[in-house]
């Protein structure tokens, strides 16, 4: 039996996504699909009379790490299935409970006008963070600011001092629902980001106790110093946490693992930094950490999704506390707090 709270959350989400009669919905399922999400979304679609199909593909060519689809950034069985890709391009709305590879055929499907909504987080956090219409305005406003700024500057008392410029690649407006043709979103979340021009990223990022590296899903206990030069991390120093990060990245044996990926900040005002600490790793995908208002999200690895050419399996999202973010002269986050305007 589908819980009312989950049914209502999905009904709200599909309504925000402007799902209309006559549209065909695809529900893509796979190993990581939460059965309660699948039952709930089918239930809402059925009760509301929408046309849908559930699609499951074969075994992925490579294996995920720790059951976390964010840990390895690699193609799925969809890549080699032209009939399935074609069906998805013809579907108005795709509920992605499988986790498409963002660097591959997803672009073709979005270009065809399909709306995609990815959901990997479990029901509890999903319900608690369910998107609201106003989240979009906040995210779009932030993305617009990135678009019109020349330089992003990030500083922190811990020692972070980073600059980056945008414009060469895409912008990432993630507000938790997908209401426009060709829009991809990941629910629940709310943050604004963009892929910087590679060489523009310079400086230093100092991670501090309490910062989170995803998919590691724990709070750092000790600082990590990252030197950034020409868009690449050139050194990782510090104590145990630094050693762990260094060894993890080295295990991919891939120079592109050290590239800087998208940069941005969290805008979700019902998400809590403390949320992650209440769950085991297997229970969460980390969307609350990625989204809490005022985090600066530094990330590493591929920029192929943003239109670049860097492709690597190693992708880290690193939401940071207590940073100050300026877009040109506009202060957007001050010591970890969103600047209200």
Nearer to its own copies, 21 or 309 (CB): 21
The reply on whether position 157 binds its own copies by CB under 8 A is: no
For 85, 99, 309, 311, the CA distances from 104, given in Å and listed in that order, are 11, 12, 12, 10
Nearer to its own copies, 238 or 308 (CB): 238
Q: Do you know the residue count of the chain?
A: 341
- Show contacts with its own copies in window 65-84 (CB under 8 A): 65-68, 71, 77, 80-84
Nearer to its own copies, 108 or 274 (CB): 274
- Show contacts with its own copies in window 278-297 (CB under 8 A): 278-283
Checking phi first, is residue 318 left (phi over 0); if not, alpha (psi -120 to 50) or beta? beta
Largest CA distance in the chain: 57
Return the residue of 14, 16, 19, 55 that touches its own copies, per CB under 8 A: 55
The reply on whether position 244 binds its own copies by CB under 8 A is: yes
Nearer to its own copies, 124 or 334 (CB): 124
- The least distance separating its own copies from the CB of residue 176, rounded to whole angstroms, comes to 18
For 158, 167, 297, the CA distances from 335, given in Å and listed in that order, are 11, 26, 14
- The least distance separating its own copies from the CB of residue 247, rounded to whole angstroms, comes to 5
The reply on whether position 248 binds its own copies by CB under 8 A is: yes
**Separation CA 214–CA 70 (nearest Å):** 8
Helix (H) or strand (E) holding 141: helix 133-148
Checking phi first, is residue 90 left (phi over 0); if not, alpha (psi -120 to 50) or beta? alpha
Return the residue of 150, 234, 274, 337 that touches its own copies, per CB under 8 A: 274
Cβ–Cβ < 8 Å for 198, 134: no
The reply on whether position 63 binds its own copies by CB under 8 A is: yes
The reply on whether position 5 binds its own copies by CB under 8 A is: yes
**Separation CA 179–CA 132 (nearest Å):** 12
- The least distance separating its own copies from the CB of residue 323, rounded to whole angstroms, comes to 15
CA angle centred on 207, ends 204 and 210, rounded to 5°: 160
Cβ–Cβ < 8 Å for 27, 51: no
- The least distance separating its own copies from the CB of residue 258, rounded to whole angstroms, comes to 16
Instruction: State the residues that interact with its own copies by CB under 8 A.
Output: 1-5, 7, 24, 26, 39, 42-43, 45-47, 50-59, 63-68, 71, 77, 80-84, 86-87, 90-91, 124, 127-128, 209-210, 215-216, 218-219, 221, 239-240, 243-244, 247-248, 251, 272-274, 277-283
């Amino acid at each position: 039996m589908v819980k009312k709270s989950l049914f209502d959350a999905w009904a709200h989400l599909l309504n925000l996504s402007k799902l209309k009669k006559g549209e065909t919905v695809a529900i893509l399922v796979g190993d990581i699909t939460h059965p309660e999400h699948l039952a709930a979304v089918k239930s809402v679609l059925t009760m509301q009379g929408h046309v849908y199909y559930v699609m499951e593909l074969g075994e992925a060519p490579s294996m995920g790490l720790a059951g976390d689809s964010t840990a390895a950034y690699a193609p799925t069985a969809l890549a080699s299935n032209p009939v399935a890709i074609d069906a998805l391009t013809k579907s108005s709305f795709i509920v992605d409970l499988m986790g498409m590879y963002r660097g591959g055929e997803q672009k073709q499907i979005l270009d065809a006008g399909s709306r995609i909504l990815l959901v990997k987080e479990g029901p509890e956090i999903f319900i608690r963070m369910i998107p609201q219409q106003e989240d979009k305005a906040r995210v779009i406003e932030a993305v617009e600011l990135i678009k019109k700024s020349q330089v992003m500057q990030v500083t922190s008392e811990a020692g972070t001092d980073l600059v980056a410029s945008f414009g060469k690649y895409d912008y990432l407006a993630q507000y938790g629902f997908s209401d426009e043709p060709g829009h991809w979103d990941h629910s629940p979340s709310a943050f604004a980001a963009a892929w910087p021009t590679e060489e523009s990223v310079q400086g230093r990022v100092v991670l501090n106790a309490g910062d989170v590296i995803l998919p590691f899903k724990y709070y750092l206990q000790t600082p990590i110093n990252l030197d950034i030069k020409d868009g690449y991390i050139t050194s990782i120093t510090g104590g145990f946490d630094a050693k762990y990060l260094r060894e993890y990245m080295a295990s991919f044996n891939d120079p592109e693992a050290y590239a800087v990926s998208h940069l941005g900040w969290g805008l979700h005002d019902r998400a809590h930094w403390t949320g992650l600490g209440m769950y085991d790793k297997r229970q969460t995908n980390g969307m609350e950490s990625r989204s809490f208002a005022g985090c600066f999200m530094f990330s590493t690895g591929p920029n192929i999704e943003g239109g670049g050419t860097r492709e690597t399996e190693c992708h880290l999202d690193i939401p940071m506390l207590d940073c100050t973010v300026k877009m040109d002269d506009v202060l957007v986050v001050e010591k970890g707090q969103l600047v209200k305007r």
